[in-house]
Structure 1
Amino acid sequence: MKKPFYIITILLITISCSKKSVPFGLRKTINQMEKNLNDTIKYDFKIAPEEVAGTKHHFGLGQGLRNGKGLWKGSLLRTYFRINGVKHPDDMSSIILTTFHRKLNDKPIKFKQQKKYYKEYWEVSRIGKDTANIWWAKNHPEEQRDSLNQIYFSNFYKDRLVLGSVGAWKKNENGASGRNVKIIAKIIERNDRKLKLKIIELGKSEDGFELWEKVGDTIESDPFSVYLIPRIKN
């Protein structure tokens, strides 16, 4: 019984890799992301250059995928990636994010190319750290990274609204614990990566947790810590 299963699996992988559409094994996850993600986070993710989007959302969307989709162990999605030669959960979540970004922007998925990139990375990493650093610098030139960041940062101009969070704190015997409280803020000023924001809406904190900020306060942040709210078209 196992042999037909493996044959079907290999055929599905071959077919999905040959298409420009989302690979068969990722379609459910991508569709769920498109359906369930907050519109603001999805918009912020879409308008960022691909490399910037992957970096910014590695610990937000990416961590949610690694933990929620069983990429560390035991899931069919993890098995699909491993059959395709992708073995590290960070690489798996990065491919999902790249695939999602390309789908949102109507670009070719290029799944084979994505797999090849991570396979090459681990091959050069086995040679040594210096070789890996040279490979990384070649594939991610600093000038290019700076240019892409500036393209993204240019969207954060005066009077644009962003979604973010501030901390609410509660003292306990071990010191203090915190909770994130959502805010909507208006950009007052941007200086490169530094944003000055004015809080215009503030969520409620949980019982026992104290908020230090209030509506009307100004705070500092950066574009990687907040999400651009889509502009309302008149």
Structure 2
Amino acid sequence: MQKKTLLILIMMIATLISCNNSTQSESENVLSENNVPKNLNEALNQIDNDLSDSLKTEIRRMTESDFVSESHFGFGIGMRNEWKLWKDSDLSKYFNSIGINHPDDMSGIILTSFHRKLTENQIKLDEQIAYYKDYWDGVELTRLPEETEFPEQNLEFRVSRNYGHYTKDKKWGTVYIQTNPKTDYIWIYDYFYGWKKIDLTTKDKLDKAKIQQTESILNEIYSE
């Protein structure tokens, strides 16, 4: 029953993200690229104002861990994309200013803080920041280059895969995968390997690889 409730909840949030309400302008949707919050408080207030009371009741019934993990891909992807956390939005710059650099971490803090706000628990932002800083301590951050450094114009990278051996050598790589291909070839980027154009068969192989297989597959791709 709980899994069914979680599924319904995520579907409801996804619908709110993707659909325009006839009684609202686009800028009033739950997540809108035209109304990007400037900081955490604005983000929490925007979500709180736009979600229905019934949906918030369902969220309160979930544990914090379940809500954050189940929302990471549906609600979280919408948040990272529409609020341009992969780019230099005001919200992204806010998180950078407090030491949070990865979009997944930004959305994680927002989701965690929203659940705590709904359940009247302390947000404990300092503790959340410390958790992510400890996680990345000694790890080489591998961010996507600026668009001016892209090999072609109008490329979008909304999917990435992390890999590496954090506990072994503090290496944590990230390969970014183009999400708006116009042909049978797409671009990928990795800090340690650089740019590479691959076919869809190779992309499928990369998509299906387990995290411990990713680096060896990248070695094959970039050796060709």
Shorter-chain TM-score: which interval?
Answer: 0.3 to 0.5
Indicate the structure (1 or 2) with the bigger Cα radius of gyration: 1
- More RCO (CA 8 Å, sep 6+): 1
TM-score by structure 2 length? 0.44
Structure 1 or 2: larger helix share? 2
